Amino acid sequence: MDHIIVKGGKKLTGKVRVEGAKNAVLPVLAGALLASEGKSFITEVPNLADVYTIQEVLRSLNVDIEYFPEKNEMHIDASSQLSSEAQFEYVRKMRASILVMGPVLARNVFARVALPGGCAIGSRPIDQHLKGFEAMGANITFGNGFVEAKTDGRLRGAKIYLDFPSVGATENIMSAAALADGVTIIENAAKEPEIVDLANYINEMGGKVKGAGTDTMRIEGVETLHGSNHSIIPDRVEAGTFMVAAAITEGDVIIENAVPEHMAALISKMGEMGVDIQETDEGLRVRATRPLRSIDIKTMPHPGFPTDMQSQMMSLMLTAQGSGILTETVFENRFMHVEEFRRMNASVKIEGRSVIMEGPSKLQGAQVSATDLRAAAALILAGLAAEGITRVHELYHLDRGYVDFHLKLEALGADIERVSTETSEVKEEQMV
């Protein structure tokens, strides 16, 4: 098992390019199941563990796929008769596997998917996905750890109000509605840029989706969809993570391929802390010098502050002057990393859904374990600013969502290595 060793204290400088977005590519690849004719050619597909998992899910559903990771391209042919079942081994590995349910149901009038259950960041039910399918005429049943949806014929267009603007429910319902009979309206829809990316792809396949990026979407179902070319949008969370890396090391980094309009809340909150962020022709330039000011942040659905940047932002807030409060409203249990920050001498306490920080904490290197994907990145970021050596374990979380994270940081000047546990003792001695 690998872990990362980072020695704090280096200022990061230079340029880094962000990949295609994990949270856009997963729904788009699931959406490729909708095409009963022709092939889809998807570009900017990041070389991530989650991409291999969704590839396996699609293969298990009888889809023909070729992936060319060196050119970030995937060719998908879903024109054969699809199988209807997504098994536990995939859904357990990656919750986004549930996104195949809408397309499979729409194509096959039957879908059977292992129940995702909870994960480290919360219970994560799928009731809103199912409520949508039910409104479109599906009969939902549960048994043996699976959820099944069945219709007598084609799904029917329906009006669906989401109790919460769930990203996954909006994507699943949008995909199912794309092949339904009639018009579906999704009210209180999620507005994330990844929703817009999926809607664009469905429209490129011959679909009729309007209103993506607003809270009311209108999807007119069509009889068939065909494969098409699509390029995945840049990863706003990866971009944000490098913004924090620049700021926490008092560095000067240009982030290429970032889309500032997708990151307005983050740019604004980092600006409030005193980080200098400028849009340039080459990319987003991020510079900082201490002291940074403490601020308060509350995570919210887009365009609010993204929960997927909460833990990385916590690293930065720990280094700021004064007291700051970070409140998590999207997931009920996304503070597992707080205990790990404490190992690094962070002055931080949890009160209900908030974390209170008295800064600046004098971060110290320590052995820590990633508790989820973004926590993995956050602990490495904290290690960049800590005194001494930090070792971050449980890197399978990191690999779900970051391509060559340590190599990109190293290229910016970080003192960082990824090693297998067996060789780590030697490596650490060399770094001291």
Ligand X SMILES: CC(=O)N[C@H]1[C@@H](OP(=O)(O)OP(=O)(O)OC[C@H]2O[C@@H](n3ccc(=O)[nH]c3=O)[C@H](O)[C@@H]2O)O[C@H](CO)[C@@H](O)[C@@H]1O
Ligand Y SMILES: C=C(OP(=O)(O)O)C(=O)O
Q: Give CA separation, 152 vs 63, 149, 189, in Å.
A: 24, 11, 27
Side chain identity, residue 185: I
* CA-wise closest residue to 147 among 178, 188, 105, 118: 105
Give the residue with the Cβ less far from ligand Y, 155 or 232.
232
- Give the active site residue among 119, 140, 259, 356: 119
Q: Is 144 annotated as a binding residue?
A: no
Task: Report 16-75 residues binding ligand X (CB under 6 A).
Answer: 23, 26
DSSP state of 393: E
Number of Cβ within 10 Å of residue 207's Cβ equals 25
Contacts of 28 (CB under 8 A, 6+ apart): 42, 197, 198, 201, 230, 232
Q: Is 127 annotated as a binding residue?
A: yes
CA distance 325 to 298: 8
Q: Is 126 annotated as a binding residue?
A: yes
Place of tokens 């042919």: 77
Q: Is 125 annotated as a binding residue?
A: yes
**Using the rule CB under 6 A, is 283 a contact of ligand Y?**
no
Q: Report whether the peptide linkage leading into residue 69 is cis, meaning its omega lies within 30 degrees of zero.
A: no
Stretch that binds ligand X, among 103-111, 124-132, 200-208, 386-394 (CB under 6 A): 124-132
DSSP state of 164: S
State the minimum distance, in angstroms, from the CB of residue 280 to ligand Y: 27
Stretch that binds ligand X, among 58-66, 72-80, 126-134, 344-352 (CB under 6 A): 126-134
**Using the rule CB under 6 A, is 128 a contact of ligand X?**
yes
**Using the rule CB under 6 A, is 125 a contact of ligand X?**
yes
CA distance 185 to 5: 50
Interaction partner, residue 114 (ligand Y, ligand X, none; CB < 5-8 Å by kind): none
Interaction partner, residue 401 (ligand Y, ligand X, none; CB < 5-8 Å by kind): ligand Y
**Using the rule CB under 6 A, is 213 a contact of ligand X?**
no
**Using the rule CB under 6 A, is 308 a contact of ligand Y?**
yes
**Using the rule CB under 6 A, is 390 a contact of ligand Y?**
no
Stretch that binds ligand X, among 9-17, 118-126, 140-148, 289-297 (CB under 6 A): 118-126
Place of tokens 């230079």: 14
Residue nearest to ligand Y (CB): 308
Interaction partner, residue 128 (ligand X, ligand Y, none; CB < 5-8 Å by kind): ligand X
Burial-class residue 13 by CB neighbours within 10 Å (0-12, 13-18, 19+).
Answer: middle
Stretch that binds ligand X, among 106-114, 144-152, 159-167, 405-413 (CB under 6 A): 159-167
Task: Report 278-307 residues binding ligand X (CB under 6 A).
Answer: 307
- Per CB under 6 A, the list member of 169, 186, 317, 375 interacting with ligand X is 169
Interaction partner, residue 328 (ligand X, ligand Y, none; CB < 5-8 Å by kind): none
Q: Is 257 annotated as a binding residue?
A: no
Give the residue with the Cβ less far from ligand X, 95 or 230.
95
DSSP state of 261: G
Annotation says 105 is catalytic: no
- Per CB under 6 A, the list member of 28, 58, 61, 96 interacting with ligand X is 96
Residue 260, Cα to own-chain centre: how many angstroms?
17
Burial-class residue 345 by CB neighbours within 10 Å (0-12, 13-18, 19+).
Answer: middle
Instruction: At 111, list the tokens.
Output: 């879908």
Instruction: At 144, list the tokens.
Output: 């043996």
Place of tokens 């329906």: 158
The answer to whether 57 and 90 have CB atoms below 8 angstroms apart is yes
Give the residue with the Cβ less far from ligand Y, 7 or 374.
374
φ/ψ (deg, to 5) at 332: -85, -10
Task: Report 103-162 residues binding ligand Y (CB under 6 A).
Answer: 121
Place of tokens 């992936």: 67
State the minimum distance, in angstroms, from the CB of residue 244 to ligand X: 17
* CA-wise closest residue to 297 among 352, 357, 240, 348: 357
Binding site for ligand X (CB under 6 A): 23, 26, 95-96, 122-129, 164, 166-169, 190, 194, 307-308, 330-331
Which amino acids are annotated catalytic?
119
* Residues tagged in the binding site annotation for UDP-N-acetyl-alpha-D-glucosamine: 95, 124-128, 308, 330
Binding site for ligand Y (CB under 6 A): 22-23, 95-96, 121, 308, 373-374, 401
